[in-house]
Amino acid sequence: MSEKHLVDARGMSCPGPITKLVKTYRIAKNGDIIEVLATDPGFIPDVKAWIEKTGNELLELKEEAGVIRAVIKVTAKK
As annotated, the active-site residues are 14
DSSP, residue by residue, 46-60: HHHHHHHHH--EEEE
Helix or strand (DSSP H, E) at 69: strand 67-73
DSSP 8-state class, residue 28:
-
| 35 belongs to the binding site for another protein (CB under 8 A) | no
| 9 belongs to the binding site for another protein (CB under 8 A) | yes
| 15 belongs to the binding site for another protein (CB under 8 A) | yes
Positions in the binding site for another protein (CB under 8 A): 9-16, 18-20, 22-23, 25-26, 40-42, 45-46, 49-50, 53-54, 76-78
